[in-house]
Copies of this chain bind each other. A is one copy, B any other.
Amino acid sequence: MKYYFGIDVGGTTVKQGLFDEDYNLLERWEIRTDKTRGGRNIIPKIAGSLEDCLERNKISKKDIIATGMGVPGPVTKDGFINKAVNLGWGRFNLKKEAKKSLGVPVFCGNDANLAGYGEFHFGSGKEFDNIIFITIGTGIGGCIINEGKILIGTDGSGAEIGHIHVKDDEEDSCGCGNKGCLEQYTSAKGIGRTARRMLATTDEPSVLRDSVINAKIIFDAIKEGDKLAIKVGEEFGRYLGCAMANLANITNPQAIILGGGVSKAGDILLTFLEEPFKKNVFHACKNVKLLCASIKNDAGIYGAAKLAGDSINNK
């Protein structure tokens, strides 16, 4: 029997999966992301953890076909990473470094791209050839898949949709330094910011007044019919729905799939997005399906394993 590893390196934890040749997940575990020494421990710690897994499962390293690895930063087609600020990484050949440390072929990609690739092959995207995947978490990430291939882009920065400019008169800066980025209104952080702003400028009663504001609390309040929370949802929908329409006009996909932490709110998300999407999309793209992701947290390790398999088989 032959195997793949799928790895999803995040700022806090590294998710790891052992997959068989048909991409069935056999074991799933996590380790803490060791960010000491400018992130230089991350790859060696992953290597050690994979060795433990082999031992635990009595698998020989020569039966690992390849390993896929998603990381929070731009990764070029050739496996170069150009800064992953959350890990402390600068620019280096991640593919080469990881192969040296792990002792098996490694194929790398951006984490949002690999989560999208996982959803595309094994989740809500599996019936389609062309999708856009949007992850709504602390920030907004994206993945464009066209004719089955990830649009990686020149520097590995394809689908940086969190930094689409959507508002001209914004006074606060986005983390990227620009003003008026999509992420400022539609990420978990952005949704919280909208709620706090609305609470401060009206006297409207709301269950949110006595809460520690976060996206989950807000969507729970929406489900209970809280009017102010619904207005927060509508503003979220206006920005994201319009951006999704523009993305549809640009890449003409069959479906747009929403993943990331905020998507756990479920289909209620779509109720805020459908109207602004339909209002702004070009008529030829009106039939795009809007869906929630189905694999959720593990999409990244599935996508990483599949990338490894497709790359080694030159697909």
Contact = CB atoms under 8 A, between A and B. Distances in A.
Interface of A: 74, 77, 82, 129-130, 144, 146-147, 151-161, 163-165, 176-178, 180, 242, 245-247, 249-254, 279-280, 282-285
A53 B301 CA distance: 58
B249 A163 contact: yes
Nearest to A238: B168
Given A130-B154, A154-B129, A254-B154, A282 B176 contact: yes
A158 B144 CA distance: 12
Given A77-B147, A177-B283, 14 more contacts: A74-B284, A146-B146, A151-B251, A151-B252, A157-B249, A157-B282, A157-B285, A158-B252, A159-B250, A160-B282, A161-B250, A164-B249, A165-B242, A246-B246
Contact of A153 (B152, B161, B180, B253): B253
Given A146-B146, A242-B165, A153 B282 contact: no
Interface SS majority for chain A: loop
Nearest to A146: B151
Contacts of A165: 242, 245-246, 280
Contacts of A251: 144, 151, 153, 158, 250
Contact of A252 (B147, B155, B177): B155
22 contacts: A74-B284, A82-B284, A129-B154, A144-B251, A151-B252, A154-B252, A154-B253, A154-B254, A155-B285, A156-B252, A157-B249, A157-B252, A157-B285, A158-B251, A160-B252, A160-B282, A161-B250, A163-B282, A176-B282, A178-B282, A246-B246, A247-B250
A176 B254 CA distance: 20
Nearest to A82: B284
Contacts of A242: 165
Contacts of A164: 246, 249-250
Contacts of A283: 176-177
Nearest to A156: B252
B144 A279 contact: no
A77 to B, nearest CB: 8
Nearest to A166: B246
Contacts of A146: 146, 151, 153, 158
A255 to B, nearest CB: 9
A256 to B, nearest CB: 12
A144 B247 CA distance: 13
Contacts of A250: 144, 158-161, 164, 247, 250-251
Contacts of A154: 129-130, 252-254
Given A158-B250, A165-B242, A153 B177 contact: no
Contacts of A153: 130, 146, 251-253
A254 B146 CA distance: 19
Nearest to A255: B154
A242 B77 CA distance: 27
Nearest to A246: B164
